[in-house]
């Protein structure tokens, strides 16, 4: 009995030593090499050896600590719920509490080693983001831009968070030297991770990777190109950098001062403070801010096709809106996204485009036949053509796909119609697009595993029987048709794209 009481007394003393100090709000700051600072709060309550509470960050919101313990040596284990209400196991977080100091082992970006960071005590409630009510709905006038789908390049698919100012300059050079500019590719768009912290006046700054955004814009403009940038209506971007929440007009003015020509506005952490029914008003806020600058800036909405964005995108002065989740450089991803777009055809029009995400052509995950399907389908869909590969090292074959003038003309047709599926027979599909001059673009797609003959009857694509002028846009030659239609042998995961003139 004495031994039992002795151990109980020791345990009581050990847990009591931690009870007074561990309870409270703790702040962990992690600085990345580019100067970005990530803040995570641990709002903890200790009861003996048990710990509960929440973790809080602007990027991932508030997550409940599902379980937590501390032992007599001060070793702390917390299990936080998965972010974004996802299913699966919670995140295990290890920490050490010694002499009143809390050292937390934090994970960084994929591929980086965990680091032990000292937490500091924070005021109660620190880290809670106050919701700013969105404005009342009203129509923002059309900005007069993007009368044909925007063409250019975006950094994310190839570089993700590694993109630098020198990469962007190099890509601008390559757009000119490769013939991409001549083909119509004009926008050079920086995606996430350019952002620095805000200064004392709340102005957004750039990080170490982008030391001179104004100088970069001047450089891109000197090439006859335009510069695009990225932000989020939330407190943080998808990669955890500074968003535009509460600073919309201030940021728009800064973009204009730098000479920015295009904004991709990505929902991300906005979901921590807004509800889905707020999205139109939230995007309206930035649409108004951009127009208030007086500078023509293409407005790209990126909220992954939620809440029928195609119905209200034009109302917020959106020039294009994402209709899907992120594309990957695989046949499965590209084909599932692309061949699901026909249902949205009625919402495409000059100045306002459905956006099934950026091009993966040249990133190595698909064959050249599959990349031709990618280019053909996006052009039939009147989709933005934003290359996502490293143009400095692109092969001739890849550049030939990206710069095929006859295919690009289908995408850039001034009528602004979007193709729809005319017929489907298992893995064989025919898509048709009405062009401004009365001609039609017709795509014969083979989604199957072996080459196959695909036939299209004139009635299937609403063409009267008779003589027609047909041109194969990949073979760059005239082809012959039968009296009632056209047939071609199409390779596996391949396409034959023809233009049919009256």
**Cβ–Cβ under 8 Å, residues 126 and 27:** yes
Report the sign of the C-alpha dihedral through residues 374, 315, 290, 277, in that order. negative
pLDDT band per the 50, 70, 90 thresholds, residue 502: confident
Decide if pLDDT at 453 tops 60. yes
Q: State the pLDDT at residue 114.
A: 87
**DSSP type of residue 295:** S
* Cα-Cα-Cα-Cα dihedral sign, residues 194, 306, 349, 337: positive
pLDDT band at 333 (very low <50, low <70, confident <90, very high): very high
Q: What is the pLDDT of residue 110?
A: 63
- pLDDT at 9 > cutoff 80: no
Tokens read off for 254? 């800064």
State how far the Cα of 156 lies from the Cα of 190, in Å rounded to an integer. 8
The predicted structure's pLDDT at residue 107: 81
What's the whole-number average pLDDT of the chain?
93
The pLDDT score that the predictor gives to residue 208 is: 97
Q: Are 489 and 433 in contact (CB under 8 A)?
A: no
Domain 2-122 class? mainly beta
Domain 421-501: give its CATH code: 2.60.40.1180
- The three-class DSSP label of residue 15 is helix
DSSP states of 27-80: EEEEE-TTS-EEEEEEEEEEETTEEEEEEEETTTEEEEEEEEEE-TT-EEEEEE
Residue 4: is its pLDDT beyond 60? no
pLDDT at 465: 81
Residue pLDDT, tens place only, 73-82: 999 999 999 8
Contacts of 213 (CB under 8 A, 6+ apart): 194, 206, 229, 258
Q: What was the pLDDT predicted at 113?
A: 81
CB 456 within 8 A of CB 423: yes
Q: How is residue 82 annotated by DSSP?
A: P
CB 498 within 8 Å of CB 458: no
**Predicted pLDDT of residue 6:** 31
CA distances from 191 to 30, 154, 209, 241, 322 (A): 22, 7, 13, 11, 15
Count other C-beta atoms under 10 Å from residue 101's C-beta.
12
Strand intervals (E) in 218-259: 226-231
- Could you give the 3-state DSSP secondary structure of residue 164? coil
How far lies 160's CA from each of 44, 401, 418, in Å?
A: 34, 23, 30
Task: Quote the CATH superfamily of domain 151-409.
Answer: Aldolase class I (3.20.20.70)
Query: What is the model's pLDDT at position 8?
Result: 35
- What's the rounded Cα separation, in Å, for the pair 488 and 481? 10
**Least confident window among 113-122, 171-180, 490-499:** 113-122
The answer to whether residue 288 scores a pLDDT higher than 90 is: yes
User: How far lies 143's CA from each of 45, 59, 186, 317, 320, in Å?
Assistant: 52, 31, 18, 6, 12
- Asked if the model's pLDDT at residue 15 lies above 80, the reply is no
Cβ–Cβ under 8 Å, residues 242 and 294: no
The Cα 311–Cα 303 span in angstroms is 13
Region of residue 166 (phi > 0: left; psi between -120 and 50: alpha; otherwise: beta): alpha
- The whole-number average pLDDT for the span 227-238 is 97
CB 228 within 8 A of CB 188: yes
> What would the mean pLDDT of 212-216 be, rounded to a whole number?
98
Q: pLDDT class for 5, splitting at 50, 70, 90?
A: very low
d(CA 190, CA 193): 9
Instruction: Report the C-alpha gap between 52 and 90 in whole angstroms.
Output: 14
Collapsed DSSP state (helix, strand, coil) of residue 243: coil
User: What is residue 458's DSSP assignment?
Assistant: G
Q: pLDDT for 258-281, tens place per residue?
A: 999 999 999 999 999 999 999 999
Total length of the chain:
502
Active-site residue list: 266, 326
Four-CA torsion 465, 467, 473, 474, nearest 10 degrees: 90
**Which token pair is 382?**
């009147």
pLDDT of amino acid 1: 43
Q: What is the pLDDT of residue 385?
A: 98
CA–CA separation, 101 vs 458, rounded Å? 77
- Which positions ≥6 away from 368 have C-beta within 8 Å? 397, 398, 401
Residue 85 has pLDDT above 80, yes or no: no
**CA pair distance 57, 27, nearest whole angstrom:** 10
- What is the per-residue pLDDT for 263? 98
pLDDT at 12: 41
Residue 455 bridge partners (DSSP) = 487
Partnered with residue 452 across adjacent β-strands are: 490
| pLDDT at site 109 | 65
Q: Do the two domains 2-122 and 421-501 of this chain adopt the same fold?
A: no
pLDDT surpasses 90 at 83? no
Report d(CA 73, CA 116) in Å as an integer. 17
Nearest to 263 by CA among 288, 234, 240, 290: 290
- For residue 266, the model assigns a pLDDT of 98
- Render pLDDT for 456-489 as a digit per residue (tens, 0 to 9): 999 999 988 878 899 999 999 999 998 899 999 9
Rg (CA), the chain: 27
Q: What is the mean pLDDT of residues 297-324?
A: 98
205 closest CA partner among 165, 258, 248, 166: 258
Residue 18: pLDDT over 70: no
Calpha distance 338→151 (Å, rounded): 18
Res 84: pLDDT: 64
Q: Is the pLDDT of residue 371 over 80?
A: yes
Can you tell me the distance from the alpha carbon of 437 to that of 501, in angstroms, rounded to the nearest whole number? 8
């Amino acid at each position: 009995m004495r031994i039992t009481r002795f151990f109980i007394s020791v345990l009581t003393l050990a847990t009591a030593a931690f009870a007074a100090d561990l309870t409270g709000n703790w702040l962990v700051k992690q600085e990345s090499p580019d100067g970005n600072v990530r803040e995570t709060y641990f709002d903890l309550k200790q009861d003996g050896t048990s710990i509960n509470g929440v973790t809080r960050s602007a990027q991932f919101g508030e997550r409940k600590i599902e379980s937590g313990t501390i032992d007599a040596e001060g070793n702390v284990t917390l299990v936080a719920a998965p972010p974004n209400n996802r299913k699966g196991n919670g995140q295990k977080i290890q920490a050490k509490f010694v002499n009143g100091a809390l050292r937390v082992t934090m994970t960084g970006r994929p591929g980086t080693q965990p680091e032990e960071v000292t937490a500091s005590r924070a005021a109660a409630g620190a880290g809670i983001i106050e919701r700013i009510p969105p404005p009342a709905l009203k129509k923002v006038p059309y900005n007069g831009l993007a009368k044909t789908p925007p063409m250019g390049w975006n950094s994310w698919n190839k570089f993700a968070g590694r993109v630098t100012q020198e990469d962007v300059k190099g890509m601008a050079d390559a757009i000119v030297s490769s013939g991409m500019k001549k083909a119509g590719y004009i926008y050079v768009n920086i995606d996430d991770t350019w952002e620095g912290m805000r200064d004392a006046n709340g102005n957004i700054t750039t990080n170490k990777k982008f030391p001179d955004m104004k100088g970069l814009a001047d450089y891109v403009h000197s090439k006859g190109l335009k510069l695009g940038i990225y932000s989020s209506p939330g407190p943080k971007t998808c990669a955890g950098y500074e968003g535009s929440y509460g600073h919309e007009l201030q940021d728009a003015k800064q973009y204009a001062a730098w000479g920015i020509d295009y904004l991709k506005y990505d929902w991300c952490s906005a979901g921590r403070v807004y509800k889905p029914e707020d999205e139109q008003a939230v995007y309206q806020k930035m649409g108004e801010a951009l127009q208030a600058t007086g500078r023509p800036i293409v407005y790209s909405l990126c909220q992954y096709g939620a809440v029928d964005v195609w119905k209200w995108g034009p109302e917020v002065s959106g020039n294009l809106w994402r209709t899907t989740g992120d594309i990957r450089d695989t046949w499965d991803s590209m084909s599932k996204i692309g061949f699901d777009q026909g249902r949205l055809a009625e919402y495409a029009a000059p100045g306002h485009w459905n956006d099934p995400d950026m091009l993966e052509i040249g990133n190595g995950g698909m064959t050249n036949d599959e990349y031709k399907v990618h280019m053909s389908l996006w052009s039939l869909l009147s989709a933005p053509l934003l290359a996502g590969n490293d143009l400095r090292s692109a092969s001739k074959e890849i550049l030939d796909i990206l710069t095929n003038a006859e295919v690009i003309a289908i995408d850039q047709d001034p009528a602004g119609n979007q193709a729809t599926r005319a017929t489907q027979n298992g893995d064989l599909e025919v898509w048709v697009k009405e062009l401004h001059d009365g001609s039609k673009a017709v795509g014969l797609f083979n989604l199957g595993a072996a080459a196959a003959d695909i036939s299209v009857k004139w009635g299937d694509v609403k063409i009267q029987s008779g003589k027609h002028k047909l041109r194969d846009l990949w073979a760059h030659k005239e082809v012959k048709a039968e009296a009632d239609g056209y047939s071609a042998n199409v390779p596996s995961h391949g396409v034959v794209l023809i233009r049919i003139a009256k």
